[in-house]
């Protein structure tokens, strides 16, 4: 049961709801509503806070940019293509004169 957690929030008040009466074979570990949890591939809290997901995306993007910056072998046009394919979130667009 350690891989499953439980959390509940009453949105009218923003307070956590008691979930101690919900049991399976054992009790579920309680996840606080403001604690980020991965759900359907997105890390967010029940309060609607996406800061953890944003931080993860920024760190991942930074790692990819650093890795690509170290590569001095590719031509400018191949570098452009690589940027567009690997980091679509940057929405990178180059002018024709840059190629």
- Which tens digits make up the pLDDT trace of 49-73? 888 888 888 888 888 778 777 767 7
Instruction: Evaluate if residue 92 carries a pLDDT over 60.
Output: no
CA 9 to chain centre: 22
Instruction: For the chain, give every domain's residue range.
Output: 1-48, 51-98
Pairwise CA distance, residues 31 & 37, whole Å: 8
Q: Cα dihedral angle (85, 87, 90, 95), rounded to 10 degrees? A: -40
Q: Cα dihedral angle (5, 11, 14, 16), rounded to 10 degrees? A: -30
- Which tens digits make up the pLDDT trace of 31-54? 888 888 887 888 888 888 888 888
Query: Among all chains, which residue has been given the structure tokens 């309060």?
Result: 47
Which of 19, 44, 45 minimizes the C-alpha distance to 34?
45
């Amino acid at each position: 049961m350690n891989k499953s957690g439980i959390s509940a929030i009453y949105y009218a008040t923003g307070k956590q709801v008691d979930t101690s009466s919900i049991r399976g074979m054992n009790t579920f570990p309680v996840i606080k509503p403001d604690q980020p949890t991965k759900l359907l591939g997105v890390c967010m809290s029940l309060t609607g806070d996406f800061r953890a997901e944003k931080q993860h995306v920024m760190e991942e993007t930074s790692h990819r940019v650093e890795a690509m910056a170290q590569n001095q072998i590719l031509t400018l046009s191949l570098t452009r293509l690589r940027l567009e394919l690997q980091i679509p979130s940057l929405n990178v667009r180059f002018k024709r004169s840059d190629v």
